[in-house]
A and B are shown apart, each in its own frame.
Chain A
Amino acid sequence: MLANFMKKSLLLLSLGIISALQLARAGDITGTISLKGTPPAEREITPIKDNPDCVAMYPTDLPKTKFYVVDASGNLADVVVYLKGVPSASTGATADPVLLDQKGCLYSPQIMAVQTGQKIIVKNSDPCVHNIHTMPKQNPESNQVQMPGGADLTFTFDKPEPFLKFQCDVHPWMFAWVSVFDHPYFAVSGKDGKFTIKNVPPGKYTLEAAHRKLGTQDADIEVKADGASQNFTFEVK
């Protein structure tokens, strides 16, 4: 019995050391996402005008859609970048929860990514009722009401799925898209188009970038101890 315990302890210790060594050697994948061409102009979300609770939060201009979040230099935000085809290695159960807020009758952020099992805390910062309707293709669908000032709701998803839709049917212009991965190697590009995927073990991978409207692009990369860099350029046809 003692021998067994010793064996297991040694095995766990070895795995821990190997993981620690790998992490020490792990590098970051960085890059920038660009957009070529002129995307369709974003539109005012005019249905907000029909809802007194929501329009009161926009005394001057109505908010606009955010399908193509691109800056003056052509850097594209809200692109989900991830390693494709890597073995399942989710650390979602112990990862920090992520926040999805409902503010100004809009979801914030509109594009996000989590791991399987990772908690998504949905908050209602608005003075009105919302329903949180998840519309997955791989995971179970759910639909819950959240009153103004109501307790936060927690969602987790067990299966990987790209662009899983969160929708409010009370305010049907409100939606967010959450990509779910069964590993921690993903990022969402920021307003400057930049992304960083941290602590990727050295090796050869396929890196994929996915934009909800523009589709996906792949690149074969090699991550070394000092990381790797890969840019993507999407084009509006």
Chain B
Amino acid sequence: MNNNFRPALFWFAVLNAVATFLLIGLGGLVTSHEAGMSVPDWPTSYGYNMFALPIRFWTGGAFFEHTHRLLASAVGFLTTVLALWLWLKDARKWMHWLGVAAFLLVVLQGILGGLRVDLRMPSLGIFHGAIAQIFLVLACSLALFTSRWWINSETEKQVAVPRGLRSHILWVTVLIFIQLLIAATMRHQHAGLAIPDFPLAYGKVWPDTSAAAVASYNERRFEMQGENPITAFQVDLQMIHRLVAYAIFLGVAAAAMLARKKLGGRDPLARLAFVWLGLLTLQIVLGAATIWTNKAADVATLHVMVGALALLTGSLWCLVAARRTRLAATSPSP
């Protein structure tokens, strides 16, 4: 038993992580509803103090955008308190700096979100979406590092995780992050679905992206939400997104099998790898459902949230595996 465990700090870090995950969901709803610019000013909202915007204006797209701002403010506040708490009460020096990093990242993220509105730059939304994913991993890592399990297991005997398995999962996790960047780029084109069918694409294995073909796709499209016309680039990007999704699924399936083979089926990391596989299966179903429902906002947002969970699972797996291996190497021989 280690006396460094602080339950209040841990649960506060968990609260911050859960709020961050919900914030990603709300951010997903903002983009899915094409509502990112519905409140044209920031840090004010319709000229009001953000926290005093009359509730009669919380309608339509402004509901999603405004509540996103409020929850983001709450996460900013929680992260600031957490960083201070870690600095003052956590005995581990590196945790002080991790708290500072979280604080700086949440400030940067808030400013990016604000500038995306004030500068009217859709491309900033891609960075905003990408940093949100990194911040979620960081917020959950802080919760993990302050947990009783993490702190107590410091002195427990550990079994090393083979390097090949660790490398494999690290690379698949990196691929998931790249996939999230592709997805953020797709979503922030504000062009809706570039390809309306799945598993085929415009009825073919690989769609025609000639100028004439793209013109005919646009003729037939109904941009119910004023989406921009699609381009050949966007069609190609969605095809790449699909191919990378298949590669990730195969990579995670291989990771789960490898983990069971190398660590045994009862090992927590092997089980986590199978949870990961389950998430990826769900994610592919949600990706298909996003297309079949013509990008229904709630389905598309669930796709974003499960994508975030997939990145998070891979990242935490890598952290735990690296630590186990380090502790196994430094623990005295029996």
Contacts and interface: CB of A to CB of B under 8 A. Distances in A.
Interface stretch (A7-15, A170-178, A180-188, A222-230): A170-178
B334 interface: no
Contact of A129 (B33, B57, B215, B219): B57
A129 B63 CA distance: 12
A129 B224 contact: no
Given A51-B59, A214-B219, A237-B216, A143 B46 contact: no
A116 interface: no
B61 A170 contact: yes
Given A47-B224, A131-B40, A145-B47, A169 B35 contact: yes
Contact of B224 (A43, A168, A213, A237): A43
A54 B219 CA distance: 28
Given A143-B120, A215-B215, A170 B38 contact: yes
A167 B216 CA distance: 24
Nearest to B121: A141
B184 to A, nearest CB: 19
Nearest to A141: B120
A51 B60 contact: yes
Interface in A43-59: 43, 45-47, 50-54
Contact of B59 (A40, A52, A133, A143): A52
Interface residues of B, number: 27
B80 to A, nearest CB: 30
Interface residues of A, number: 37
Contacts, number: 82
Given A43-B224, A133-B40, A143-B120, A171 B61 contact: yes
B120 A170 contact: no
B225 A173 contact: yes
B226 interface: yes
B226 A213 contact: no
Interface of B: 33-41, 46-47, 57, 59-62, 65, 120, 215-216, 218-220, 222, 224-226
13 contacts: A40-B222, A51-B59, A52-B59, A53-B59, A128-B60, A143-B120, A145-B40, A147-B46, A170-B61, A172-B33, A173-B226, A215-B219, A237-B216
Interface of A: 40, 43, 45-47, 50-54, 65, 67, 128-129, 131, 133, 141-145, 147, 165, 167-175, 213-215, 236-237
**Pairs of residues from A and B, 8 with the lowest C-beta to C-beta distance, nearest first:** A169-B38, A175-B226, A143-B40, A172-B34, A170-B60, A172-B225, A169-B37, A170-B38
